[in-house]
Amino acid sequence: MEEKEKFWSVLDEVVEGVPRNERLVIGVDFNGHVGEGNRGDEKVMGRYGLKEKNLEGRVVVDFAKMRMKMAVVNTYFKKKEDHRVTYKSRGRCTQVDYVLCRKCNLKEIGDCKVLAEDSVARQHQMVVCKIVLEVKRKRRRVRTERIIRWWKLNEEDYSVRSREEVSQGLGGGEDVLDDWATTAEVMRETATSVLGVTSGNRQEDKETWWWKEEVQDSIKRKSWQNRIGINRVIRKVSRSASRCGSR
């Protein structure tokens, strides 16, 4: 009796050490019969145990019910007796090996049965439990280059404001195009301030089946067209700034 009490005490400590938000599965030779049927114990076991419940089996059920809110998995699946018997010895066939899990995770158990004739220890049969988990793929964020939102120049308000601020930034001089490096720098700084820049974060797509070679070619062509369009806008803004400065 002292060894059994020590066993339950140690098991209590181990289980208590597992965070409640983590899955917990226990597979043990409890050396007890939880019995067939579940009257009064419906919250922690099914109806498909074996034989009559004995004292040791009562302790198993109480452990699942009162201490840890767990469930005796074996008893929830209707199987032939050969697939419920976990222990065979000299003609005696009983069920003493059980799988326990948290009651809240019972819905994830797809099956639980004994593999008849497959012994993993002397006189004990192998108990197999199938757990079906839904794995959620975590989307990985990919860092990309931050770019100026040049496309906003297509909107009249942004276009006018950009021309005015570029003109002011160039000091209203007449030879704004003679020093292209200075002009370009002023335009970039103005565009960053007025138009803003992208965040640089791009969420990786979960599905990439559509990313075919012809799609990539089309994207490349569109990208070049956008670059040409942006260069035209830059030249247009630069000419406008030049005219404003010469007035």
Q: Domain map of the chain by residue range? A: 2-131, 141-246
SS3 13: helix
SS3 94: strand
Share of the chain above pLDDT 90, in %: 36
Q: Per residue in 92-120, pLDDT tens?
A: 899 999 999 999 999 999 999 999 876 66
Alpha-carbon span 101 to 8, nearest angstrom = 16
Whether residue 227 is predicted with pLDDT greater than 90 in this model: the reply is: no
Share of the chain above pLDDT 70, in %: 73
Q: Are 78 and 48 in contact (CB under 8 A)?
A: yes
Confidence of residue 156 (pLDDT cuts 50, 70, 90): confident
Q: Per residue in 51-86, pLDDT tens?
A: 899 999 999 999 998 766 899 999 999 999 999 999
Give, in words, the CATH class of 2-131: alpha beta
SS3 127: strand
Neighbour tally for 22: CB within 10 Å: 8
Alpha-carbon span 222 to 211, nearest angstrom = 15
Alpha-carbon span 17 to 155, nearest angstrom = 62
Q: Per residue in 159-184, pLDDT tens?
A: 888 888 877 777 765 555 556 777 77
SS3 109: strand
